[in-house]
Amino acid sequence: MSDTLLMAFALMLVLEGVVPFIAPTAWRDAFRRLTEFSDGQIRFFGLTVMLVGLVLLMVLN
């Protein structure tokens, strides 16, 4: 179980690094726009991403 969790974490880090590596200007602009969101909007975005991830896990498992 811990090996799988570490592999999932490593894959997340790789995927998170793809956009800043390929398109740093676009990543910077997107991050700048994200900082202008209210706390509620950021929380809603985070909740949405978590729910999509959970649904994908349920579908793929």
Q: pLDDT tens across 30-42, in order?
A: 989 989 999 999 9
- pLDDT score of 1 more than 80: no
**Across 20-28, average pLDDT:** 95
**Across 2-28, average pLDDT:** 92
Q: Is the pTM of this model over 0.75?
A: no
Residues with Cβ within 8 Å of 27's Cβ and at least 6 positions away in sequence, in order, are 19, 20
Distance CA 46, CA 41 (A): 9
DSSP 9-55: HHHHHHHHHHHHHH-HHHHHHHHHHHTTS-HHHHHHHHHHHHHHHHH
